[in-house]
Amino acid sequence: MPDQAATSKPQPKRKPPSSGNRRNPHTHKAVIKAALELLKTVHYPALTIESIAAAAGVGKATVYRWWPSKGALVAEAISSTLTVEDPPDTDDLRADLIAAAEISIRNYAYPSSGVLITALAADLAEDPELLQSFVSTFVQPRRALVRKLLQRAIDEGVIAPDVDPDLIMDMWAGAVMYRRALNHTPIGNTFAEELVEVFLSGAPAHKLGKSP
């Protein structure tokens, strides 16, 4: 359903699924979904709670009841869109690393036409607790998986042993976020490969699937 960002268009709600003395999961989902939908056409700073409530067919007070701020709402919303993907673990270590980098690109370049995570992070900076919560629920689990893969690459001598896996991840995600935010260089199809290649440049070629 494209273009549903109207301001006061009344939604002919068929039937309010339920409302009682328990948290209504339909309401909850409707808010999250409306937020994600609006973010396809509206930049994060211009997104308002009121428009979310209206688009979800929900009272504004209900939104405030369950989320303390726009940042908290959007943090949950985008967390829900991105699943934890296991980076592959095959014989082709180079391909595995590229796949892991591609996950980074997908996560930090979401949605394809925006700088959502950048804007969100900047906004959450006002609320350290909320930022911490977002990082530990959204960022850290995904990093853990990639860290394991990188550690394996280091153990096998494909990546230099004195390199910190966390630094590599910061550089991967950071480069994506940076290019997205400043929009000075497009992120091409081979970007993941480029990101990985940098760390492999000093590695013995026979360990990798690349010709000398």
Q: Between residues 128 and 188, which has the closer beta carbon with respect to DNA?
A: 128
Q: Which residues ranging from 110 to 169 are in contact with DNA (CB under 7 A)?
A: none
Tell which positions 47-76 bind DNA, by CB under 7 A: 48-51, 57-62, 64-66, 69-70
Q: What is the DSSP letter of 136?
A: I
Burial of 83 (C-beta count, 10 Å sphere; 0-12/13-18/19+): exposed
> Residue 71, Cβ neighbours under 10 Å: how many?
22
| List of residues 6+ apart from 162 with CB closer than 8 A | none
Q: Considering beta carbons, is residue 156 or 194 the nearer one to a second copy?
A: 194
Does 171 engage in binding with a second copy (CB under 8 A)? yes
User: Which is closer to a second copy, CB of 56 or CB of 115?
Assistant: 115
Cα 145 to Cα 165: distance, rounded to the nearest angstrom:
11
Distance CA 62, CA 31 (A): 10
The one among 24, 41, 80, 118 contacting DNA by CB under 7 A: 24
The verdict on 28 binding DNA (CB under 7 A) reads: yes
Residue 22 Cβ vs a second copy, minimum distance, rounded to whole Å? 34
Q: Does 22 bind DNA (CB under 7 A)?
A: yes
What is the C-alpha separation between 30 and 196, in angstroms, rounded? 39
Closer to a second copy by CB, 59 or 202: give it.
Answer: 202
CB 154 within 8 A of CB 161: yes
How many residues touch DNA under the rule CB under 7 A: the total is 31
Q: Does 41 bind DNA (CB under 7 A)?
A: no
DSSP secondary structure code for residue 72 in this structure:
H
Task: Considering only residues 94 through 133, tell me which ones interact with a second copy, judged by CB under 8 A.
Answer: 114-115, 118-119, 121-123, 125-126, 128, 131-132
